[in-house]
DNA sequence: TATATTGCATCGATAAAATCTATAATAGTT
DNA sequence: AACTATTATAGATTTTATCGATGCAATATA
């Protein structure tokens, strides 16, 4: 035996995650000296330097990176033992921490959480809203069990499992030119009057992709304003004119009056592929399968197929 | 955290391996009560029964099997950390425990151990001679790092890496009919006068396969005698007449006089594929690669190719 | 230049645990 | 019924992780 124990591995991973002994100690629910001692012992036992403490924030050495990557593997495999017991018991219980992007959270969550809770009463599910980049980071640090976001990501070590295909719609002010067009095609889109989400939001990238515009289009916009919320954007269209694009679930919940401003594209419609993604192939797969089932059962049936349109890339 | 520690996982694996608390405790270098207590704690913490102690030898429950399989994974991933450090250091050191079949051990080992020791002085290599079936069992229990044996095995979770292809030759008493035949083909072989290794030896199976005989041919043999040693078999041929088949490395070391009794087959000659096999894809791969290099450098060059013959199956 | 501030390391005491030795309980055998 | 083999239990001992207090070094602030 090497001499390291699982606790020490957790400490190593924590320090690597938070790049600070004090914070890492807090997250591990121990005092800083305790963590310092164990890290030191680990380094002595392996006879390598894992963290360069002369730098601030702390730097993980190259060997350290490899060791910590392996430590993550060990911890994950270890945690799987718990699931094996649970799976064997046949009871669906445990906890799930799921990340979700802002352009889905307010519209998708209300749809399926009820269904999931009802069918899996013993599962403690919680959600964290973040943009894709942060979700991927959190997944790789094992801070999330899975995330619901728009794919394809083309991220190494991230597994994608498509959930549904959401139509991209147009929300145009009654006086905007697009409001009059009969049969809408992607080519009809212009930068004139277009409202956009903040940088970092994948839906912003998709919109820009669709309009074949450069990332920096703010010059063409009527007003230099960006928001993290689709609802805010939509309200700006109502108040100030112009138009924006809306994912179907965001459009779906609009009251009748507002719904008049929603226009569909002609077939093939642009779609965004919404997926459940995770980094650990076997971890909590039973619970994640239940989650997947709940989501698919809760979105409109036609969204489960993609043959009516084409998936919009965004990376 | 689950509460189990790595020590407990080792204990679980040990009990599963030896099916006896007392023996398992010995192998773990602790007293039996220590091991009993930890196993009990593990079962309590997971809230499952892992071992059925009412049976003798102890029976691992179905859940227990799964937990222990996962425990093996955790331990292996854990042990890999040590290697990562070593690989990083660039020094070739550590230990290797290699299994090898009896029909290879006395002829192959002397060929390459010198080469290996000279090129890897810091590696502590040891060998265990066993028949294939036991080698596979030991590999799956992680009691061996790798084994040198005759493939293909068609065993799940066992990885084969071909080392060389050894000719199968004939060793016939001067008065035996085969001794006179000019051009020897496999079809010439008969059961008459054939001497065989014990059951369980893969070379026995290969010989029987080649001769297209049933497993139970002893009735046709001049004398009902089986041995675990090729040398003994060969000496019986000398003393009592008849013939046997010899792998090339066993024939190679014969003194000039005896070598006259060795006959080669015509091309395509029957070959046995000798491989380095292991169960853990990443474990000690650097050392095993060095081992592989040493072996390939030590056997006659022509054995590295198989185009002169056909590989004899034996399973 | 003096002085907080931040962040990690060290020290001694304490509490938790794993382990040991000795012994008991249990089941199967002769 | 005695014997043997095997696991479980009890109490003592040792090892270990943890904590709180403190020290020390680097950096930022006055």
Q: Which residues of chain A does B60 touch, with a Cβ-Cβ cutoff of 8 Å?
A: none
The CATH architecture to which B165-270 belongs is: 3-Layer(aba) Sandwich (3.40)
Fold of the domain spanning A92-163+274-302: D-Maltodextrin-Binding Protein; domain 2 (3.40.190)
Asked if strand C comes closer than 7 Å to A18 Cβ, the answer is no
| Residue nearest C11 (alpha carbon to C1') | A33
When pLDDT is cut at 50, 70 and 90, the band that residue B99 belongs to is: very high
Asked if strand C comes closer than 7 Å to A11 Cβ, the answer is no
Question: By a Cβ cutoff of 8 Å, what residues of chain B touch chain A?
Answer: 1-2, 4-7, 10, 46-48, 62-63, 66-67, 70-71, 73-74, 77-82, 84-85, 88
> What does the pLDDT look like over B140-160, one tens digit per residue?
888 899 999 999 998 988 999
pLDDT reported for residue B220: 54
The Cα–Cα gap between A223 and B69 comes to 62
- 3-state secondary structure (DSSP) of residue B262: strand
Range list of β-strands (E), A225-268: 226-227, 243-247, 262-263
Residues 6 or more apart from B231 whose CB is under 8 A from it? Answer: B106, B250
Tell me the CA–C1' distance in angstroms for B58 and C25.
18
The Cα–Cα gap between A290 and B246 comes to 60
Q: Which residues of chain B does A88 touch, with a Cβ-Cβ cutoff of 8 Å?
A: 48, 62-63, 66
pLDDT reported for residue B221: 54
Write out which nucleotides of chain D lie closer than 7 A to a protein Cβ: 6-11, 17-22, 27
**Packing angle, helices B62-89 and A62-89, rounded to 10:** 180
Q: Which residues of chain B does A5 touch, with a Cβ-Cβ cutoff of 8 Å?
A: 5-6
- CB contact at 8 A, B103 and B250: yes
Q: Do B66 and A78 touch (CB under 8 A)?
A: no
User: Which chain B residue has its CA at the smallest distance from A1's CA?
Assistant: B79
Tell me the CA–C1' distance in angstroms for B25 and D5.
15
Write out which nucleotides of chain C lie closer than 7 A to a protein Cβ: 7-12, 18-23, 27-28
pLDDT reported for residue B215: 47
pLDDT (average), residues B120-145: 92
The residue assigned the tokens 């008493």 is B173
Q: Do B48 and A79 touch (CB under 8 A)?
A: no
Give the residue extent of every domain in chain A: 6-86, 92-163+274-302, 165-270
Residues 6 or more apart from B175 whose CB is under 8 A from it? Answer: B241
Right CATH for B6-86 from 3.40.50.150, 3.40.50.1100, 1.20.1250.20, 1.10.10.10: 1.10.10.10
Residues 6 or more apart from B37 whose CB is under 8 A from it? Answer: none
User: Which chain B residue has its CA at the smallest distance from A73's CA?
Assistant: B77
The Cα–Cα gap between A159 and A150 comes to 13
Domains A92-163+274-302 and A165-270 share a fold: yes
Distances from the Cα of A262 to the Cα of A178, A230, A253, A299, B221, angstroms: 10, 14, 11, 19, 92
Nearest in space to B18 (alpha carbons), one of B184, B98, B138, B120? B138
User: Which chain B residue has its CA at the smallest distance from A9's CA?
Assistant: B78
pLDDT reported for residue B239: 85
DSSP B3: S
- CB contact at 8 A, A127 and A109: yes
Tell me the CA–C1' distance in angstroms for B86 and D23.
36
Residues 6 or more apart from B295 whose CB is under 8 A from it? Answer: B108, B111, B112, B116, B148, B163, B164, B276
Residue B238 has pLDDT above 60, yes or no: yes
pLDDT reported for residue A1: 64
> What does the pLDDT look like over A122-137, one tens digit per residue?
999 999 999 999 999 9
pLDDT reported for residue A205: 85
pLDDT reported for residue B270: 92
H or E, element range at A29: none
User: Which chain A residue has its CA at the smallest distance from B48's CA?
Assistant: A85
A57 cis-preceded (ω within 30 degrees of 0): yes
Q: Which residues of chain B does A2 touch, with a Cβ-Cβ cutoff of 8 Å?
A: 78-79, 81-82
User: Which chain A residue has its CA at the smallest distance from B45's CA?
Assistant: A82
DSSP B203: H
The CATH architecture to which B92-163+274-305 belongs is: 3-Layer(aba) Sandwich (3.40)
> What does the pLDDT look like over B1-52, one tens digit per residue?
667 899 999 999 999 999 999 999 999 999 999 999 999 999 988 989 899 8
CA B133 from centroid of its chain's CA atoms: 8
User: Which residue in the set A46, A78, A88 is minimally distant from B66, CB to CB?
Assistant: A88
Nucleotide nearest to B8 (CA to C1'): C18
Residue B115 has pLDDT above 80, yes or no: yes
Locate B150 and state its tokens.
Answer: 């005759």
Tell me the CA–C1' distance in angstroms for A34 and D28.
28
Tell me the CA–C1' distance in angstroms for B206 and C5.
78
> What does the pLDDT look like over B245-268, one tens digit per residue?
899 999 998 888 888 889 888 888
pLDDT < 70 stretches in chain A: 1-2, 212-226
């Amino acid at each position: 035996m090497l001499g390291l124990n699982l606790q020490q591995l957790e400490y190593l991973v924590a320090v690597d995650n938070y790049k600070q002994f004090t914070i890492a100690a807090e997250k591990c629910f121990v005092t800083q000296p305790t963590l310092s001692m164990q890290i030191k012992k680990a380094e002595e036992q392996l006879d390598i330097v894992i963290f360069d403490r002369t730098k601030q924030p702390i730097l993980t050495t190259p060997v350290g990176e490899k060791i910590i990557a392996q430590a993550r593997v060990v911890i994950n495999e270890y945690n799987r033992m718990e699931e094996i017991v649970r799976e064997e018991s046949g009871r669906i219980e445990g906890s799930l921490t799921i990340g979700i992007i802002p352009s889905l959270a307010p519209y998708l969550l209300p749809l399926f959480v009820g269904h999931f809770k009802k069918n899996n009463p013993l599962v403690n599910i919680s959600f964290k809203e973040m943009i894709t980049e942060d979700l991927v980071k959190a997944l790789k640090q094992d801070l999330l069990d899975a995330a619901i976001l728009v794919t394809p990501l083309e991220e190494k070590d991230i597994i994608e499992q498509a959930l549904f295909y959401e139509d991209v719609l147009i929300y145009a002010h009654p006086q905007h030119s697009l409001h009059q067009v009969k049969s809408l095609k992607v080519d009809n889109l212009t930068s004139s009057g277009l409202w956009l989400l903040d940088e970092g939001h994948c839906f912003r990238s998709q919109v820009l992709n669709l309009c074949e515009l450069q990332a920096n289009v703010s010059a063409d916009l009527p007003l230099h304003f960006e928001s993290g919320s689709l609802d805010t954007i939509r309200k700006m269209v109502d108040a100030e004119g112009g138009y924006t694009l809306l994912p179907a679930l965001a459009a779906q919940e609009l009251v009748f009056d507002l719904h008049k401003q929603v226009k569909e594209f002609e077939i093939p419609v642009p779609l965004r592929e919404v997926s459940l993604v995770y980094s650990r192939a076997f971890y909590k797969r039973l619970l994640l399968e239940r989650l997947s089932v709940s989501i698919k059962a809760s979105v409109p049936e036609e969204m489960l197929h993609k043959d009516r349109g084409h998936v919009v890339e965004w990376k």
